[in-house]
A = this chain, B = another copy of it.
């Protein structure tokens, strides 16, 4: 494809997305892949350059487990959630807020972005409560209210917010929040243009075939008919919830494919799976 054709295809997106909010969830695994991380950092700064407002929400499971191992603590999961007692919660918060978050912030800054890291405690961002649907798994929380004041101010001042999925309640309890859900809740609260889930698979599959685009209705069917399963089910549920709450589109793409973010946004065909209310 010729350069001018690629530009003619890409540039209209600049206008379409000008000043729009993209919430991008970066899975914990990609943070360990230095080439993918570097491409992600560069792409995010470029998005900002073109006038988009990216917000990064990150996970960090691998590193939490590593530190817990060093401290000889017991690691336990239940229904995909980390069982999080008070001691574990401290480790989760220190790794997410004190390590991974600041590492992303620093790298965005060093690559020409202007970034600030936030925990869900800053500016009362994630007012939460205990998640009890799988019984008592400790300080795992769900978000009751996203306080968007702070994030709006930060966006006005042209910073890229990087958010660690930590919640709190009025009694001062700290909560461990699932990063996909945190990203989805922010996207909903800000009526974001896009929620982009960057994960370690290429998108949603039907058998061995990657599905380029699905409607919300089709997404429900994929879940009900068991065509998707495992970790993709809660991701699709996040996507459905986002779109049903005024987010325009959700993308699921492979963070390990370098510059997948750029290609997904600035080409007509994209690279992963896009979920929308409906397509024209």
What residues of chain B lie closer than 8 Å to A110, measured between beta carbons? 170, 172
- Bound-state CA distance A114–B106 (Å) is 25
Scan A83-114; emit 1 where CB is below 8 A from any B CB, else 0: 00000001001111111001001110110001
Would you call A280 an interface residue if the criterion is a C-beta within 8 Å of the partner chain's C-beta atoms?
no
Please, which residues of chain B bring their CB within 8 A of the CB of A267?
Answer: 3
Q: Is the CB of B7 within 8 A of A262?
A: yes
User: Is A227 part of the contact surface with B, judged by Cβ < 8 Å?
Assistant: no
Contact A121/B109 with A153-B157, A266-B7 known, Cβ cut-off 8 Å: yes
Q: Contacts A8-B262, A14-B14 hold; do A119 and B117 have CB atoms under 8 A apart? A: yes
When chains A and B are docked, how far (Å) is the Cα of A124 from the Cα of B112? 11
Question: In the complex, A263 Cα to B6 Cα: how many Å?
Answer: 11
A15 touches B50 (CB 8 A): yes
CB neighbours of A96 from chain B (8 A): 98
Contacts of A94 in B (CB 8 A): 94-95, 98-99
CB-based contact B11/A49 at 8 Å? yes
Interface flags for A145-158 (1: CB within 8 Å of B; 0: not) read 00000100110010
Q: Answer whether A6 and B7 are a contact pair too, CB < 8 Å, given A109-B121, A172-B107.
A: yes
In which size bucket is the chain A interface? 35 or more
Which residues of chain B are within 8 angstroms of A262 by Cβ–Cβ distance?
4, 7-8, 11
Which residues of B lie under 8 Å from residue A22 when comparing CB positions? none
Least CB distance from A241 to B in Å reads 27
Is A143 interfacial (CB-CB < 8 Å)?
Answer: no
Interface string of A14-36 (1 = CB under 8 A from B): 11001000000000000000000
Query: Are A123 and B159 in contact, with the CB atoms below 8 A?
Result: yes
A189, CB-defined interface residue at 8 Å: no
- Give Cα distance in the complex from A138 to B36, angstroms: 30
A–B pairs, 11, beta carbons within 8 Å:
A3-B6, A3-B263, A7-B262, A7-B266, A8-B262, A50-B50, A94-B95, A98-B99, A109-B121, A123-B159, A153-B154
Q: Which residues of A does B touch, CB under 8 Å?
A: 1, 3-4, 6-8, 10-12, 14-15, 18, 42, 46, 49-51, 70-71, 90, 93-99, 102, 105-107, 109-110, 114-119, 121-124, 150, 153-154, 157, 159, 166, 168, 170, 172, 174, 258-259, 262-263, 266-267
